[in-house]
Structure 1
Amino acid sequence: MIIISPYDRVEAALKKFAPDRVITIMDGAGSTSFAGIPPERHLKIGYTMAEAARTQTCAPHCDTVRIRQMIDFAAGNDWTRPLLVHCRLGLSRSPAAALIIQCALSPNTPERRFAEDLRTLSHDVEPSFMMLAQADDLLQRDGRMLDALDSMGEGSGASVGDVLRIPYLPEKAA
């Protein structure tokens, strides 16, 4: 399972779901810590809202280092327990991270399926175009991740997201 959370609901999500690992994706991520989550189980990725919101097409050979870090970290999750991913609002960066992780760890599942499942769970989320563009480049998906994003349509315009539970088990862990 992947849990998506806005920052202000992370503590409650930690208590309720007891995740194996946590990914923080936001500006100031380096100073974020949570009781009971050891540093080796907490990936902190500095990714500002401005970076995530850019909508121009990613240049060839985009900076994909942060995307690779996130995928590699998620691959080490003990999938008998959830992975918790959060950003400031739980609307753009963390939903994008969840889609990226699912696509990377389940390469035989169509990208659009993960996007449809996410849209069914929430009409509020608007996954980051830029993060998905970088992941599409890194994973050599030939635009399929961006097509999946387009298929979701726009989010509702909510100012903060809900805690979402995405039923998920990677193909490699199945």
Structure 2
Amino acid sequence: MIILCPYDRVEAALKKFEPDRVITIMDTVGSANFAGIPPERHLKIGYTMAEAARTQKCAPHCDTVRIRQMIDFAAGNDWSKPLLVHCRLGLSRSPAAALIIQCALSPDIPEVRFAEDMRTLSRDVEPSFMMLAQADDLLQRDGRMLDALDAMGESSGASVGEILRIPYLPAKAT
């Protein structure tokens, strides 16, 4: 399972779901420390809202290092326990991360299926175009991740997300 939430609900999600690992994706990640989560089980990725919101297609030389770190870290999750992914609002960066992780760790499942499943679970999420463009480039998906994003349609326009549980187990670790 992948748990998504905004920063202000991380402590509640940690208590309720007891994840194996945590991924923090925020502008400033230095202060994101949580009791009971040792550093080796907490990946902190600095990714600003401005970076996540760009709408141009990703150039071939775009930075995919952070995307690869996220995939590799998630691949090491003990999937008998959830993976918790959060960003500031729980609407853009963490949902994009969840889609990226699902696509990377289950390469034989169509990208659009994960996007449609996420939209069924939440009308609020609006995964980051730029993160998905970078992942599409890294994973050589030929635009299918961006097509999946388009298939999700418009979000509700919520200003902050809720705790979202995505029932997911990887088909294959990369």
- TM-score between both structures, scaled by the size of structure 1: 0.98
Structure 2 contact 58–133 (Cα < 8 Å) conserved: yes
1:110 is aligned to 110
**What is the root-mean-square deviation of aligned Cα atoms in Å?**
0.7
Question: Structure 1 residue 34: deviation in Å?
Answer: 0.1
List structure 1 runs of 4+ shifted beyond 3 angstroms. none
2:5 is aligned to 5
Seq. identity, %: 88
Structure 2 gap segments, 5+ residues each: none
**Counterpart residue identity of residue 127, structure 1:** P
CA distance in 2, matches of 1:60, 1:126: 24
Q: Secondary structure of 1:50's match?
A: helix
After superposition, the C-alpha distances for 1:45-103 in whole angstroms (9 at most, x for unaligned) are: 00011110110111112110000000000000000000000000000000000000000
Question: Structure 1 residue 154: deviation in Å?
Answer: 1.3
CA distance in 2, matches of 1:69, 1:154: 29
1:91 is aligned to 91
Size of the alignment, in residue pairs?
173
1:19 is aligned to 19
CA distance in 1, matches of 2:38, 2:154: 36
- TM-score between both structures, scaled by the size of structure 2: 0.98
CA distance in 2, matches of 1:161, 1:146: 22
Structure 2 contact 107–172 (Cα < 8 Å) conserved: no
